[in-house]
Structure 1
Amino acid sequence: MLLFSLSLSLSVCVCVLDNLLLFYLISSRRHFLAVLVTSFNTRREERRKKKEKRKKKAIREKRKKNLYCSSAVHMHTSMEAANAAEVAELRLDQLASEHVDIKRWINTTLQGLLCAEGKTAESEADVEACVTKLFNRLQSHLQEVSGSVEDTIAQALVRLPRTGLEVGRMATEAQQLQSQMQSIQEVAQSAVEAAAKALLLAAECIQKNTREADSMLRHNSKSLTGGK
């Protein structure tokens, strides 16, 4: 009866230890998954906000471009019409090509300017005036491009520290998650080792009690046999 009680209590202890270990592992995994989900949702929200900002900026630029085009189309004075023709003849977008022929582009542009003003290339003064206008237009375009490049560089310099901080924060979170995983593994390993030791001790106690009970039964049987 004593042996049966010990075995039953040992089985109950082992079941309790197993349930506690399983509950701890499930709780740790839930916490880890909750941290991962929160981090993922935060990054997704930041990307969504950045995407909305870029979309709004593109819409504003498109509206400005449409407004500029509509105002250019509705010009009525002769000077404005001449300037529009001049802008159309310049074709500055061709300069962005890697295989552009500079000499050919200059000749074509000068001919377009002369035709827009109704002049010919016979007069050196007309050619010089067109060259001066072309130079001024190119210089203003260069200033616009330089300003745009400077703005882009300034924005990049402003965003670089913020990007560095974000990368550092992500690296810190990764290290924290890794340390949490290591601590969970250590706790689980210690719990498994403790459970194994408890099971080993219980098995040793059962074997010892079994041997003692067997020896007592043999002694009693010998005593009964000797008495007869």
Structure 2
Amino acid sequence: MSETIRVDIWSDIACPWCYIGKHRFEAGVAAFTAQYPDVEIEVEGHSYELAPDTPENFQGSEIDFLAKHKGMPREQVEDMLEQMTGLAASEGLVFDWEKLRHANTSRAHRVLHLAKEQGLQLETQERLFRAYFSEGAEIADPDTLAALGEEVGLDGDEVRDALEDEDYADAVDQDITRARMLGVNGVPYFLLEGKYGVSGAQSADTFRSVLERVLEFQRTGTEPE
């Protein structure tokens, strides 16, 4: 019987650190799995909204949103986004801030819960991240979400139905409520075996090391430091 480590991850599609963190985590898992091929890493994603007050039809760039809606100096925003672009590139990711359309992510999170039911959550999340940060897709638009869902194997009509289904809205709210109960106030946030929390887009080596310490605890009963 193989061993299993469960990892719950809270993230938001409009969060650049979440996109970077996803890839760093996956690289850490790959390194860990190469050393421990019989250990299964069971991952479940959860919803978190960094800016739930974003209008569904916000018109403007990411710079506009952060400078006007969040009250940040425009020069500071431009410097911050330039640094993020470099960090993304180091992970093989493309951030195109000129194309990006800042959006409310509540609908995208509903789609992720539909995808979870069908075993396509991670693929759907990756597609939404790339559409948002690299392609300038309007991820609050039902037709756009349906088309992106179809690319990863979801039914477009089911995606549209999910956007109107309050059960999926409740699932998103439940994820956010659980995050608050855990004391999470930023994402990405990784919870291993329901006990060990890791905040932020840590390095791949850090994630590998944390997985090793949790595995050691499972095998020996010695709490990770």
Shorter-chain TM band: under 0.3
Q: Which has the higher helix share?
A: 1
Scaled by the length of structure 1, the TM-score of the pair is: 0.19
Q: Which has the higher strand share?
A: 2
